[in-house]
C-alpha cells in the first residue's frame, strides 16, 4: 500500500527516518553554536532526499498490468449490470402498479351494471 502511493515501502521509510534521526543527534552534539540551525538543515536535506527517492521510485515502478486493468474494468461492468438489473426490476414493479391503477380508474368511470345488463351504445 505504501509502495503504491509513496514509491517506497515501510521499511525504506523507517530506515530513512532512522538515519535522519541519527544525523540530527550527531549534528546536535557536534555543533557548539546554534545546534538547532544545523539540525534544521539536516532535516531539510533529509526531506529533499526523501522527495528525490520517492520521485525516482515512482518513475521506476511498473504500471498496472493488462490483467489488472481488465480485472478492474470487469468489476466496474459487473457493478453497472447489477445496478441495471435492479433498475429494471423497479421499472417492472412500477408498470404493474400503473396497470392496476388504470384498471381501478376505468372501473370507477363505468357506471355500475346489474348482471346481464348490456352497456349503453
Give per-residue burial for 47-68: e unless 16+ CB within 10 Å, then b. eeebeebbeeeeeeeeeeeeee
**Stated pTM of the model:** 0.47
Tens place of pLDDT per residue across the chain (121 aa): 456 666 778 888 888 899 999 998 888 888 778 888 888 889 999 999 988 888 888 787 666 667 777 888 899 999 999 999 999 999 999 999 999 999 999 888 776 666 666 665 5
Distance between first and last Cα of the chain? 79
Amino acid at each position: 500500500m505504501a509502495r503504491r502511493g509513496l514509491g517506497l515501502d515501510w521499511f525504506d521509510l523507517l530506515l530513512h527516518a532512522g538515519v535522519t534521526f541519527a544525523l540530527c543527534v550527531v549534528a546536535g552534539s557536534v555543533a557548539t553554536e546554534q545546534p538547532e540551525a544545523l539540525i534544521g538543515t539536516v532535516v531539510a536535506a533529509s526531506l529533499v532526499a526523501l522527495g528525490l527517492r520517492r520521485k525516482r521510485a515512482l518513475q521506476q515502478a511498473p504500471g498496472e498490468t493488462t490483467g489488472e486493468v481488465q480485472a478492474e474494468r470487469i468489476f466496474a461492468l459487473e457493478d453497472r449490470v447489477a445496478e441495471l438489473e435492479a433498475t429494471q426490476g423497479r421499472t417492472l414493479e412500477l408498470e404493474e402498479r400503473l396497470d392496476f391503477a388504470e384498471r381501478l380508474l376505468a372501473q370507477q368511470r363505468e357506471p355500475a351494471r346489474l348482471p346481464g345488463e348490456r352497456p349503453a351504445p
